[in-house]
Structure 1
Amino acid sequence: MNYLLMLSVIAGIASLLILVLYFKFPAFIALLMASIVTALIAGLPAQKMIVTIQEGMGSTLGFVATIVGLGAMFGAILEKSGGADAIARYLIKKAGLKKSPLALGFTGLIISIPVFFDVAFILLIPIIYSIQKNTRKSLLLYAMPLLAGLAFGHAFIPPTPGPIAVAEIIGAEIGWVILTSILIGIPTVILCGVLFGKFIAKQIYIYSPEQTLLTSSEDSYSNKQLPSFGLTIGIVFLPIFLILLNTTFNAGLFKVDNAFLIQVVAFIGHPFSALVIANIVAWILLGIKKGYSANELSKISIQSMAPAGAIILVTGAGGVFKQVLVDTGAGKLLAELLLHAGVSVIFFAYLSAAIIRLLQGSATVAMITAASLLAPLLIAGMYSPLQMAALVAAIAAGATIFSHVNDSGFWLVKQYLGLTENQTFKSWSLMTLLISVVAGLLASLIFYIGS
């Protein structure tokens, strides 16, 4: 065994954690420096190292930057137009107060696909306050399902940045990732959000704060009429439908002999095209038709690039780390060690993401680092498209594990729900642990079914 290569991997991960936890370096710089440390210890020549950095960054961002950018703009228009609020209000109205926790769980699952977790939570929490004041039941009965849906959708379902980045790094097809994540998401949100919410609400009674800095949702859209539920839900699922349509054609589920039709579906069903189409439709129907000027929509789109830019850079640095592992041969050595030790590749995917998440707090960094470690272990064609999608889900499940004090989401939930630290551990942190375990088990089941 080449102990120097193993040392390089260990040193790379250790340097990443030290730079993030102790020196508070941005994840982008920390991942690049960890890649350089790994390359130097493994003995990669300086000239080759530069080429490796360029290849890793370029090959990853060629796909991810476009998807994340388009997804961020799409989500921003949905948010500013009131589309997220329209979906929540419609589902709760149809479900009624008794079934509102279930409606909130699915609201979170849908809204978090185009809208970032923290934005969606702050946007929808006035609705949670309102329901609690009407029913006088614990706020957690309604908050937990919403948070479960938001947490799952944000970590598992493209075009959110995490699963997009992981899919690109390990080479999974986006359509299969979407399909697999939806199959896992529905039972996970019901078990870990709705049912757990009922349980924890009986243990911890929390009421809505009398005063809050949040504005009411009716006042947050410049008095413009909210879009209809049908229109909004159609626009949200438009890119997903197009991508899944292309996936079903590629999988041969439909027998189509028309070459032109196959080419059209392949074009509009590519994630690039699907999100461009969705942005155009949202720009017109949720923007222009609802009274927004072109300048207002342009400003909304530009502002959405700020959080997206940081995620894009971190993803690119993760691609560099993966390429270093490939070019040094460290990834191949790691694969051989796991094979001899009898460690399942899906267990490694889950465990590596979970450990990194617990240590440094960021789910995105955990997912990208775990994907970078996993990618060199995967031989082309060795696993089916369904198995590759299950690996993405396993990484997302591992990266969701037990949010605690080093995670900004922990403090966001604590603040807006008015919880103590202990109550936040017993509710939010425990719920993320349940999501991680349930989703991880379902991902493993799908992985073995797909073999």
Structure 2
Amino acid sequence: MPLLIVFIGVMLLLLLMIKFKVNGFISLIFVSLVVGVAEGMNPSKTITSVQNGVGGTLGSLALILGFGAMFGKLIADSGAAQRISRSLINKFGVKKIQWAVVLTGFLVGIAMFYEVGFVLLIPLVFTIAEFAELPLLYVGVPMAAALSVTHAFLPPHPGPVAIATIYKANISMTLVYGIIIAIPTVIVAGPVLTKFLKKIDREPSKNLFKAKIFTEEEMPSFSASVLTAVVPPILMAFSAICEITLPKTASIRQFSEFIGSPLMAMFLSLLIAIYTLGIRRKKTMEEIMKVLAEAASEIAMILLIVAGGGAFKQVLIDSGVGKYIATIMTGSNMSPLILAWAVAAILRLSLGSATVAAMTAAGLVLPIISSTNANPALMVLATGAGSVIFSHVNDPGFWMFKEYFGLTIGETMKSWSTLETIISVMGLIGVLVLNMFV
């Protein structure tokens, strides 16, 4: 019955948005309230759950997305994004630009959560698509695939590191196995998938991206552009390396955890960008602040829609849907790798959040490792793979992809949801194959 209510809720959400054209944020809040009450929650507790979901999502993402949007707009409006994209195109050529985007996505995504990397790279995607006259998804899908693959498989990304900590897995081996799985997975989920999305050709949202072709003199140097753009992943990677190699009491580790947290990394990067791409290039502070204000106003609706997805997710958690699923799955006798993947996948489908699904699944299947002698590193990858399957309307990441690329819900499912499912299924296949040899 709980899963039936979730299914009906998702169908109601699709009906409101597709048939009646109701705003995504309003639809998500309405459906969250309906599902919460239908699942047996007290109406006042349902409202509290919605508020906690919105607050929890915005609390962790609002500042990061806000700083990220400002940082990205400075990179775009200063000409740095065009400088980087032009250099990538010249180096790789238009025919191989997808591989440049994939490589960039790997480097940026390996140290930060998906949402942060997405906001950081989206101006680059828009600029490359505009400058090279390529379909937006042709460039955007490989970027999203690279970010999502790192989220699922590769330490020092915070997700795999957190799961590995629960399973007491060797992080170095997790990284080695993860790379083996990640390379073919990102090729299929990125460049190969775009061959089947040719009919979906959207222009960048005019509110999020205003095309401007800069002259050579107007653009900052390539070194200044790249060094500014890579500050966030460098800070986060430094923090991850210190966390892995140094004891908790080490002062360097404590300092790295401060500057390498997503919030501080984006804030510090923004301050650096204000200098390197603004003040140093003779821009007045008034001009710079105007750019930042425009960036903040442009992502307001995206923030609300992402918050609505967080409200729906929280209602599903607080109503006991996660525990209900866990109870059903823990009585199974299937392979521990498949079980870890399946539990994470069902939690992901029901709750939306890949991080919540992965962490919950890890806690549930942890006892299986000791009783079955399953390889902990492969269990990390199986859990990570299950946690990213078929992102849909209860996942804030779904709405980010939809709104930034200006897609319909159907187009988002054909592109983003399909991309995530490919990563999940190929991850499971890769884990099962590796299990035959290790």
Letter of the 1:398 partner, please give it: F
Matches within 5 A, 1:19-38: 19-38=16-35
Partner of 1:315 in structure 2? 306
Partner of 1:369 in structure 2? 352
Matches within 5 A, 1:259-270: 259-270=250-261
Identity of aligned residues (%): 25
Letter of the 1:86 partner, please give it: R
Letter of the 1:53 partner, please give it: V
Q: 1:311/1:194 Cα in 2 relative to 1: closer, same or farther (>3 Å)?
A: closer
Letter of the 2:352 partner, please give it: T
Q: 1:248/1:44 Cα in 2 relative to 1: closer, same or farther (>3 Å)?
A: same
Instruction: Write out per-residue CA displacement over residues 222-245 of structure 1, whole angstroms, 9 at most, x where no aligned residue.
Output: 775312222222222211121122
1:293 aligns with 2:255: no
Matches within 5 A, 1:151-300: 151-152=144-145, 187-188=184-185, 190=187, 220-221=213-214, 224-251=217-244, 254-255=245-246, 259-300=250-291
Q: Paired residue for 1:53, among 43, 46, 50?
A: 50
Q: 1:21/1:344 Cα in 2 relative to 1: closer, same or farther (>3 Å)?
A: farther
RMSD of aligned C-alpha atoms? Answer: 4.9
**What displacement does 1:268 show?**
0.5
Partner of 1:440 in structure 2? 424
CA distance in 1 between counterparts of 2:293 and 2:64 reads 15
Matches within 5 A, 1:131-142: none
- Tell whether the 8 Å contact from 1:371 to 1:395 is kept in structure 2 after alignment: yes
Letter of the 1:318 partner, please give it: G
Q: 1:193/1:373 Cα in 2 relative to 1: closer, same or farther (>3 Å)?
A: closer
Partner of 2:371 in structure 1? none
Instruction: Write out per-residue CA displacement over residues 393-413 of structure 1, whole angstroms, 9 at most, x where no aligned residue.
Output: 65556349xx9xx97888889
Matches within 5 A, 1:76-91: 76-91=73-88
Q: 1:245/1:107 Cα in 2 relative to 1: closer, same or farther (>3 Å)?
A: closer
CA distance in 2 between counterparts of 1:80 and 1:440 reads 36
Instruction: Write out per-residue CA displacement over residues 246-303 of structure 1, whole angstroms, 9 at most, x where no aligned residue.
Output: 222223xx24587322221111111111111100011110122123322222122122
Partner of 2:113 in structure 1? none
- Tell whether the 8 Å contact from 2:243 to 2:253 is kept in structure 1 after alignment: no
Comparing 287-296 with 435-444, greater Cα deviation is found at: 435-444
CA distance in 1 between counterparts of 2:101 and 2:220 reads 19
- Tell whether the 8 Å contact from 1:331 to 1:376 is kept in structure 2 after alignment: no
CA distance in 2 between counterparts of 1:437 and 1:325 reads 21
TM-score with structure 1 setting the length: 0.65
TM-score with structure 2 setting the length: 0.67
1:306 aligns with 2:297: yes
Partner of 2:316 in structure 1? 325
Letter of the 1:51 partner, please give it: T
- Tell whether the 8 Å contact from 2:344 to 2:361 is kept in structure 1 after alignment: no
- Tell whether the 8 Å contact from 1:319 to 1:372 is kept in structure 2 after alignment: no
- Tell whether the 8 Å contact from 1:61 to 1:312 is kept in structure 2 after alignment: yes
Unaligned 5+ runs, structure 2: 110-116, 152-156, 166-170, 199-208, 367-375, 393-397
Q: Secondary structure at the match of 2:277?
A: helix
Unaligned 5+ runs, structure 1: 130-138, 159-163, 205-214, 357-367, 414-424
Letter of the 1:279 partner, please give it: L
**What displacement does 1:18 show?**
1.7
Q: 1:36/1:429 Cα in 2 relative to 1: closer, same or farther (>3 Å)?
A: closer
- Tell whether the 8 Å contact from 1:322 to 1:372 is kept in structure 2 after alignment: no
**What displacement does 1:332 show?**
1.1
Q: 1:17/1:391 Cα in 2 relative to 1: closer, same or farther (>3 Å)?
A: farther
Letter of the 1:300 partner, please give it: V
Matches within 5 A, 1:13-24: 13-24=10-21
- Tell whether the 8 Å contact from 1:108 to 1:147 is kept in structure 2 after alignment: no
Q: 1:193/1:154 Cα in 2 relative to 1: closer, same or farther (>3 Å)?
A: closer
CA distance in 1 between counterparts of 2:379 and 2:216 reads 47
Q: Paired residue for 2:128, among 115, 124, 130?
A: 124
Q: Paired residue for 2:71, among 64, 74, 77?
A: 74
CA distance in 2 between counterparts of 1:28 and 1:246 reads 35
CA distance in 2 between counterparts of 1:446 and 1:64 reads 32
Q: 1:336/1:281 Cα in 2 relative to 1: closer, same or farther (>3 Å)?
A: same
CA distance in 1 between counterparts of 2:21 and 2:121 reads 23
- Tell whether the 8 Å contact from 2:340 to 2:362 is kept in structure 1 after alignment: no
